[in-house]
Amino acid sequence: MDRGDCGREASYAPDALGRIEQRTETVLGETHVYGYDYDLAGRLTDVTRDGVLVAHYDYDANGNRLARTSGAATESGTYDDQDRLLTYGTRTYVTSPAGDRTSVTDTATSATTTFTYDPGGNLRHVDLPDGMDIDYLVDGEGHRVWKQRNGVNVQGFLYRSALQPVAELDGAGAVVARFVYAQRRNVPDLVIKGGATYRILTDHLGSPRLVVDAASGQVAQRLDYDEWGNVTLDTNPGFQPFGFAGGLYDRDTRLVRFGGLERACGAAPRSVVPPAKSSTLRHRSTAEKSRR
């Protein structure tokens, strides 16, 4: 059970294999019950919310996600003979020979996002459909130390380890937030910023759900996610940088960085990492992992 004295409580019912079969969650006084079903290979097939089917998933023999059905709408996916994603719904995907996702195009709008990597496989540049350019600066140990928007520094990090940034910097290099770790390796318990201390309340995966002023008890930020880690609610975007499973979340690109891996959460399997690295992530959902 996840129990918080600041607005969130959750309980989990596992099946015989230890996967979460039911999750009952109360956030700020609102309670919902989520159900999860799996096929014989352990892949998530059905998600319900308060007894109503939210999504159904189909897979091929190799475990590739072929379709997502929600209500009357179905998104289908196609793959090449190396199991690399080619299309999903209205989106088309291009992958380099090294396995890096290099572009995503929405054929309904002709909007294209492109990705560029360094020789070490670190994502370094993203061209967004609205014309915004995102650049990432990486140090010799693979830490993302700066984010630039259209060539201007907007966010930086100081680290004590690959998974533990200890401070967030603004574009001028001034410290705007400090992070204190205790219970988890990859997501802090406390954020200190603006002269105040905030508690980060997480779910079983380490995803921040509530950020609460430790002195007043006021909620500064609430985050909700779907079954694949896609942000469905963010009441204070950018207040703190952690997202699904404690990764660093970039709200411009909607990518989550786990150490040296880049993860695109959501219903479509859009991970921007080499397939060899992403194989353990491809079908990992918030339901499938009952404890961290």
Model confidence, pTM: 0.86
* Nearest-5° Cα angle at 254, 249 to 257: 40
Q: Is the predicted pLDDT of residue 278 greater than 80, yes or no? A: no
Higher pLDDT, 275 or 11: 11
Residue 292 domain flag = no
Identity of the amino acid at 116: T
pLDDT at position 163 = 84
Structural domain includes residue 172: yes
Token code pair at residue 262? 């880049």
Amino acid sitting at position 251: R
Which two structure tokens, joined as six digits, stand for 2? 């996840």
Q: Report the distance separating Cα 15 and Cα 36, nearest Å.
A: 10
Nearest to 210 by CA among 230, 229, 236: 236
The predicted pLDDT at position 3 comes to 57
10 touches 1 (CB < 8 A): yes
State which H helix or E strand residue 123 sits in: strand 123-127
Using 50, 70 and 90 to split pLDDT, how confident is the model at 264?
low
CA distance linking residue 36 with residue 169, whole number of Å: 40
Q: What is the pLDDT of residue 267?
A: 45
- Band (128; pLDDT cuts 50, 70, 90): very high
Whether 61 is in a domain gets the answer yes
Parallel, antiparallel, or unpaired for β 208-213 and 196-202?
Answer: antiparallel
Q: Is there a domain that residue 286 lies in?
A: no
138-194 pLDDT, tens per residue? 999 889 999 999 999 999 999 998 889 999 999 999 999 999 999 998 899 999 999
What ranges in the chain are assigned the alpha helix state H?
A: 275-278
Q: Is residue 47 part of a domain?
A: yes
pLDDT band at 284 (very low <50, low <70, confident <90, very high): very low
Q: Tell me whether residue 290 is in a domain.
A: no
Angle at 267 between CA 203 and CA 37, to 5 degrees: 65
Tokens read off for 175:
């410290």
- Give the chain's radius of gyration (CA, Å): 19
Indicate the Cα dihedral angle 107, 132, 97, 248, nearest 10°. -110
Q: Is the pLDDT of residue 263 over 90?
A: no
Domain annotation covers residue 260: yes
Q: How many Cβ atoms are within 10 Å of 247's Cβ, its own excluded? A: 24
* Cβ atoms within 10 Å, residue 123: 25
pLDDT of residue 193: 98
- Surface-to-core class of residue 265, CB atoms within 10 Å of its CB (0-12 exposed, 13-18 middle, 19+ buried): buried
Mean pLDDT over each residue of the chain, to the nearest integer: 89
Domain coverage including residue 61: 2-278
The single residue listed with the structure tokens 């190396």 is 82
Residue 91 has pLDDT above 80, yes or no: yes
Inside any domain, residue 195: yes
